[in-house]
Structure formats: C-alpha cells, structure tokens
Chain A
Amino acid sequence: MIFKRVVFAGLFLVAAGTLCGSSLLGHHAATMFDTTKVIEITAKVKELQWTNPHIWIQIEVQNADGVRQEWSIEGGGPNSLSRQGWRPTTFKPGETVTLRINPMRDGTNAGLFVGVKFSDGKTLGRWDAQP
C-alpha cells in the first residue's frame, strides 16, 4: 500500500490561538510544536501508546521521495481522552487514517494531534481545524 503525504506545512498557515493545541497537553508546554500551523497527513497506524502522561500515535508516512518514515504524534492524556470517547482501541494497527497535526517547529517527524478522520468517515478531535 502506498501512503501519500498529501499536504505540507508551509501551505497551511493559520491564525494563532484559534488552532492552538496546547490545551491538549497537561504535562508540558507545547513550545516544540508550531501551533500556528496545521498540516494534514494520510498514514498507516503502527501503534497507539495508550499511556500517561500523554498518548502517542505511531504512524508510517511516505515522504515525497517515496521513502516510508515513522512519525510520532503526541496527544492528550488517556484519562481526559477517555472522557471524550477515546479508547485504547481507537487507533487500530494497520488501518489508514488522515490526521491533522501541529508540526514540529524544527520540521522533524513528529507533531501534536489536532484531529483525525477514519476510513469510515468518522472524526475525532478538532477536525474542523482546517489546514
């Protein structure tokens, strides 16, 4: 299966504040993430780490050169997320999802979770945060 990174950070500048993701993080500041940008990536789920202090969604993304790379997407804590309907099975290994994230400021392969659309069309998080 081929995974395509469909958009790039530079294309999706948005206003600070309206899409700020720092409220998701109860444990540390979100200064490593550029919360003024949202990028959208389509990827294959490798693993959901349902752990404190934050959950991590490990995904595989194919870059523009066709090279498959692992990305780490950080989310909120499992306690708060569970009260928003998340479960350890919310992301299933092997499934294809479309994620919207705040990218790392230094351009490395990680980001802060903003929203997700699953293959059945269901969404979680702030999917209305348009890139």
Chain B
Amino acid sequence: MLIDAIAMCFLQRKAWGIALLAVRENDKLCLQTRFAKGHPMTYCMIRSAVLGALAISIAFTPRLASGQQRASGALPDWSGVWQMVGPTVFDTSTVEPPNGRAGDPGVRERPPYNDEWEARYRKNVDSIQKGVFPDPVNLCGTPHGFPRVLNLPDVYEFVVRPEQVWIIGENGPNILRIYTDGRKHPAPEDLWPTYTGDSVGHWENDTLVVDTISAKGAIDGDVIVDRTGLILSEAMHVVTRMKKVDDSTIEAQIVIEDSKALKSPWRVTKRYRRLPADTRVYDYSCAENNRNPVTPSGRTLTLGPDGKPIDRVVD
C-alpha cells in the first residue's frame, strides 16, 4: 500500500489512542484509523466521489463563518473610485445646526458622550469658535486615524482580496487594512494604540463585518474624528458593516462603543457613491506647498507667497 499523505489528528480517550490518517491509495482516498491496541482499519472512496462531495459542500455553504477566508471568486465587486456622500461631518444626522459643516465655528454633533467627554468636546467646539483648534493633519504626515479614515474628503478605493480588504484614501496617508484571512486581533500584550488601530473582518454573504480595536483615539491630542472637534478614546471598539446597497453606493454602518467616552453605542452611517469609470486617483502630498501651518497656540496661519504669515496675529 502506498501511503503518501500524512495526517492529521490524534485523539486520546482513556487508555485508547486513535490516529486518523488520510492516505491515498492508487486512485482512492482513504481514512485509516489506528488504535493503540489492535489492527488499523481503512475506509476508502474513489477520488472522484470525494472531490464531488467536496464541491457540492462548498457550493451549498450559505456563508462563511468568522475565521474563514473566502475564495476570490466569491467576493463582491467593489472596484472603481468612490466618494463619500456629504460633508466631512461625522454624524450628519445629529449635527447642529442641521446644515453645519465640520470646522465652522459653533457646529457640533450629539454623540452619547458621558459628562467628562461632553465637557472635553464642548471645549473643542469653543476653541474652534476662537480659531485655535488645530487639525492634527495640518502637520502633514500623520494619518487621519480611525474612524476618521471613513470620513475623508477626495476619493476612495476599496480593494477586496481574499486575505485582506484595503480601504485606500486619496487624501492621506490613509490606508485601512482589514485582515479577512481568519486571524484574530493580537493578544493585548502585543497591541499598542495606532492611528488606524487593528481591524479584522469576515464576510456575511456580501456584507463585510469589520472589528476594530486599538485605535489611538485622543491620546496626545493628535487624532480627532472630524473638525467639529469630535474625539474618542483609545478604548473604542468599533464594528463596521459595509456592503454595496446598489451598483453605485457602498454603505458603512458603524457602531462605536467606547467605555471611557460614551454612555451607549453610537451608530453612524456613511455612504460612498461610485464616480465615473474613467475617474483617476492622484498623488496627495500635504507637505508639497502647505501654506497653513499651525502655531503652538493652535492657530492656523495663512502664509503669503514669500512664506511669511499674512495674518495680523500670528500666535
């Protein structure tokens, strides 16, 4: 008997050991049991029958459970260039005033903050009113962070691969990597807060379910959610469900839990519309000609062509 495949598992029950060996014998696939005591027993099927049964099993599997990578042919088509719908206010459903835009003095949203974080947000709104609330991305070089990466100006690409999904922002540097190969989040001792955090995902039919932790939040004041002054803590745990709701629209339903900042989950929906097929994506280099540096007090300056501030007050 030719045995050229070795196997797989070993079961221990009381004093009895059972070894299961997958073997190939000529054109047959066999399962061989070997007990600690007694003779091996072999059960064989012809290979075509085994492969046929396997194909039927795959074809009729309704969905993949979390922890399994999906084959490329079974993935949805999210190709093209996409643009977020609406202004870069994170939660347009709760913004005040209703037509307010991020960065306009006095504009705010209503996440379910606890008292401490409501006070911190209120302070940011007041700083915007005074013109001394810096946007960290003015520093030219740091990513926008999470979940702001879902709230970018300019355009997006959504690259769907079996093992990862990449959300690529033209305005950047902003790339959100979502591992869909079945891996879990690293152990707590192997995690540290980063701008975009750690994201793992799985597919439920054509919905990508993304679990994000370990985002930097408002640590060091260098990550905000949008220019209304929204902030979250590094304790945020975000579950995002993304799907194409029609051929020209991808929708992200975002549920944010934050044990430090929020009293209850904060649910936000963002939509992205497909741009014409010939749309190109370009370089974005914030440092190319940044004429709006930030002073130590948080004031954003306007530089003239000679590189000197035009503003009357420079700090």
A residues near B (Cβ < 8 Å) are: 16-17, 20, 22-23, 25-32, 35, 47, 49, 51-54, 56, 58, 70, 72, 74, 77-80, 82-83, 104-110
B residues in contact with A83, CB < 8 Å: 155, 275, 279
B289 touches A17 (CB 8 A): no
A29, A104, A108, A110 interface centre (most CB from chain B within 10 Å): A29
For this complex, 19 residue pairs linking A to B, each with C-beta atoms less than 8 Å apart, are: A17-B99, A22-B104, A26-B153, A27-B138, A27-B292, A28-B135, A29-B103, A31-B300, A32-B311, A52-B288, A53-B292, A56-B305, A74-B292, A79-B155, A79-B283, A80-B154, A83-B279, A108-B311, A109-B310
Interface of B, secondary structure class, is: loop
CA A80 to CA B284, docked complex, whole Å? 11
Chain B: which residue is nearest A83 at the CB level?
B279
Q: Choose from A17, A27, A78, A108 the contact partner of B312 (Cβ within 8 Å).
A: A108
CA A27 to CA B134, docked complex, whole Å? 11
- Kindly count the residue-residue contacts between A and B in the assembled complex, taking CB atoms under 8 Å apart: 123
B99, B133, B275, B289 interface centre (most CB from chain A within 10 Å): B289
B135 touches A29 (CB 8 A): yes
B residues near A (Cβ < 8 Å) are: 87-88, 97, 99-105, 128, 131, 133, 135, 137-138, 140, 152-155, 170-171, 227, 275, 279, 281-286, 288-292, 300-302, 304-305, 310-313
B302 touches A29 (CB 8 A): no
Kindly provide the distance from the CB of B108 to the nearest chain A CB, expressed in whole angstroms.
Answer: 14
A29 touches B300 (CB 8 A): yes
A residues in contact with B305, CB < 8 Å: 47, 49, 56, 58, 70, 72
CA A79 to CA B279, docked complex, whole Å? 11
A32 touches B279 (CB 8 A): no
CA A41 to CA B47, docked complex, whole Å? 82
